Amino acid sequence: GSENKLFSLSGSSLVVAPYRDKDARVIGALGVIGPTRLNYARIVPMVDYTAQLISRMLR
């Protein structure tokens, strides 16, 4: 979106969620790059859920 200059003119958007280790430290991020008119209501929960699964697997 327009909040990120890298994506503001590209017609793309980025949805990112962090994943954490057993001490709740952020050790990485999972993201999806898509069109500006991405179905955010569907993608945000999917990215969030997947990042949480990765976090659980790393504990």
Whether 5 has a pLDDT exceeding 80, the answer reads no
pLDDT at 27: 96
Percent of the chain with pLDDT over 70: 85
| Distance (Å, whole) CA 4 – CA 24 | 26
Residue with tokens 């980025």: 14
| Run of H or E including 40 | helix 40-57
Digit-coded pLDDT (tens) for 23-49: 999 999 999 999 988 899 999 999 999
Q: CB under 8 Å to 10, separation ≥6 — which residues? A: none
Domain locations in the chain as residue ranges? 5-57
Q: CB under 8 Å to 16, separation ≥6 — which residues? A: 29, 30, 31, 32, 47
pLDDT at 28: 97
